[in-house]
Amino acid sequence: MFKAINAVQIHVSLDKIEPEIWRRLVLPASWNLDELHLAIQAAFNWWNYHLHEFRIGGLRYGDVELLTEDAFDGDPRVFNSRDVHLRDFEEGATFSYLYDFGDSWRHTIVVEEFGAFDVTPKHGSCIDGARARPPEDVGGVPGYERFLEIMSDKADPEHAETKRWCGGHFDPEWFDLAVTDKDVRNALRPSVKRRLHQPKPSQKRD
């Protein structure tokens, strides 16, 4: 008996950072781009404080009212992100997601495959990934590179203050699948709270 497609597997990676920071998610195919936005926020533990948009085939998708208010002359028209669903894409489709127009965290999204589960998924899940995302408001890719330099050099005059700013600890290689999967499963919960800082390892010594 034919099973209807009800899930999609996507790969999301941050642009212009090496080694790659990425997550692999399995989401309900019925979800729209607005719900995909919340899943990405959860997967990377972004705080959802800033504007975002999707770029698909040269078109912009997001909150029409907010993005229109923030638009510059010549910017493409904005379409409602709730009108596009994950099931509308084809396998192999690639598009971009921009979070925080100041820091400009651009993500590349690849639709890897669709699935037909016996039970239609009601929430998303994270099945793989690598590396910690940069701290919020660190200043984009250049700011993140400088942040890593400061954090790796205790003699840097900005080291102590920067360490306090990021919560006392930051490991760029950190990724916990169980924690991230739980975050993604709760992505659509109202008033969901994000961790302000990366969890500290219990055995870490300064």
CATH number at residue 53: 3.10.290.30
Residues 42, 138: one domain? no
Q: Are strands 59-62 and 78-80 parallel, antiparallel or unpaired?
A: parallel
Under 8 Å between Cβ of 56 and 97: no
**Which amino acid is located at 155 in the chain?**
A
Specify the pTM: 0.94
Residues 124, 156: one domain? no
**Domain of 146, in residue numbers:** 133-170
Mean pLDDT of 114-129: 96
Helix (H, G, I), strand (E, B) or coil at 84: coil
Phi-psi region of 54 (alpha: psi -120 to 50; beta: other; left: phi over 0): beta
Mean pLDDT of 85-105: 98
Is residue 1 pLDDT above 70, yes or no?
Answer: no
Could you tell me if residue 63 is inside a domain?
A: yes
Is residue 203 pLDDT above 70, yes or no?
Answer: no
Under 8 Å between Cβ of 102 and 9: no
Give kind and range of the element (H or E) at residue 204: none
Half-sphere exposure of 118 (CA within 13 A, CB side): 0
What is the distance, to the nearest Å, from the Cα of residue 86 to the centroid of all Cα atoms in its chain?
A: 16
pLDDT at residue 206 in the model: 41
Cα distance between residue 191 and residue 188, in whole Å:
9
Q: What is the pLDDT of residues 61-88, one digit of tens each?
A: 999 999 988 766 667 789 999 999 999 9
